[in-house]
Amino acid sequence: MKIGDLRHRIEVFGRGKIENELGEVDYIDINIKTIWAAIIPQTAKLQTQQADTILSNTTHKIIVRYESGKDITQDMYIMFRKKRFDIKYILNPHFKNEQLEIFAEEVAE
């Protein structure tokens, strides 16, 4: 991996616990970290739904350094340029601990 390939600044969000005014535990989305990544589009598919609504499914491969992303889990999501990417699965290619490949689906707003 070349350092210049990681040219996108992404934010990783996860669930954080807070205590509300009633003393109950609530969960909110918090920014866990901001790291450099490469974002590579993989597949795209258009589906026509009821009432001629078009739904787009777009998947991406997001590559990060292993040390930067080793604590990222599937229940987190990624934000890049105001677009949300839900994490589907994470691979450590050849178990080399050099980079992680995060496969994510773009969420249409």
Model confidence pLDDT, tens digit, residues 97-108: 999 999 998 887
Q: In angstroms, rounded to a whole number, what is the distance separating the alpha carbons of residues 6 and 109?
A: 26
Q: In angstroms, rounded to a whole number, what is the distance separating the alpha carbons of residues 75 and 25?
A: 19
Domain 3-9+37-107 class in CATH? alpha beta
Model confidence pLDDT, tens digit, residues 48-102: 656 565 556 778 899 999 999 999 999 999 999 999 999 999 999 999 999 999 9
45 vs 72, higher pLDDT: 72
Q: Taking a C-beta distance cutoff of 8 angstroms, is the pair 98, 66 a contact?
A: yes
Domain boundaries, the chain: 3-9+37-107
Q: In angstroms, rounded to a whole number, what is the distance separating the alpha carbons of residues 89 and 103?
A: 5
pLDDT range class, residue 22, cuts 50, 70, 90: confident
